[in-house]
Amino acid sequence: LCKKDTVRCNSFSVAEFNSSKMERHIVLAQTTFNNKDVVLLNTHLESMGYSSEVRKVQLRRCFRQCKKEGSEKTVIFGGDLNLRDHEVDACGGVPAGMEDLWEVCGSDPDLCYTWDMTRNDNLDFGGRNNARLRFDRVYIRHSQPATFVPASFQLIGQKRLQVELCFPSDHWGLAIQFRCL
């Protein structure tokens, strides 16, 4: 989501994941904020545990795209990645030069689980509602020299909608503030 009076979208593209059985893709926006180039990469990786191998292929492709962008650009990559930590490890971890913003902002355990069935009852799995996972993630690859630093990391969407008495989603959203250098 780009606010038109602060972020200028110079171009955007959508690239399909050939391996997706769920019609997943990458959305890439070349933007300018405060006269600095920022690439925003968003995706929703394949869902469910049985899609682990496909999800790892998709994650590797996203990481390659982040690394491909010019070093003068800040790259922010995130979304509903449906990741388990062991899948990131199996892909060789977060690539050199990239950072997981939850970790950079202190790894607060209260902000870890973006899919938390102990607190979010939008979905019902027949009484087995105790799953807690960090499905949603945001990564940054800083420009050279760095032009932004993360200032805060928060979970949003944790209040019920008054009309439906449900949460806005079965996932908590991520809100990250950056400070310009």
Give the whole-angstrom CA distance, residue 52 versus residue 159. 31
Catalytic site residue from 37, 80, 108, 121: 80
User: What are the C-alpha distances in Å from 31 to residues 94, 150, 172?
Assistant: 24, 18, 26
For residue 166, being part of any structural domain is answered with: yes
Q: Does residue 2 fall inside a structural domain?
A: no
The arithmetic mean of pLDDT across residues 107-118, rounded, is: 95
pTM value? Answer: 0.94
Summary mean pLDDT of the chain: 94
Residue 51 falls within a domain, yes or no?
Answer: yes
Q: Kindly report whether the peptide bond that precedes residue 150 is cis, defined as omega within 30 degrees of 0.
A: no
Q: Is 1 a domain residue?
A: no
Residue 80 annotated to the active site:
yes
pLDDT at 129 over 90: no
Domain count, the chain: 1
Residue 116 lies inside a defined structural domain of this protein: yes
d(CA 138, CA 163): 30
Tens-place pLDDT, residues 48-87: 999 999 999 999 999 999 999 999 999 999 999 999 999 9
The span from the CA of 12 to the CA of 141, in Å, is 19
Using the predicted structure, report yes or no on whether residue 2 has a pLDDT greater than 70. Answer: no
Token look-up 């209260």 returns: 110
Q: Is residue 109 part of a domain?
A: yes
Residue 40 has pLDDT above 70, yes or no: yes
What CATH number is attached to the domain comprising 11? Answer: 3.60.10.10
Measured from the Cβ of residue 3, the count of other Cβ atoms closer than 10 Å reads: 7
82 belongs to a structural domain? yes
Per-residue pLDDT of 5-36, as tens digits, reads: 789 999 999 999 998 999 999 999 999 999 99
Domain extent for 159? 7-180
CA gyration radius, the chain: 17
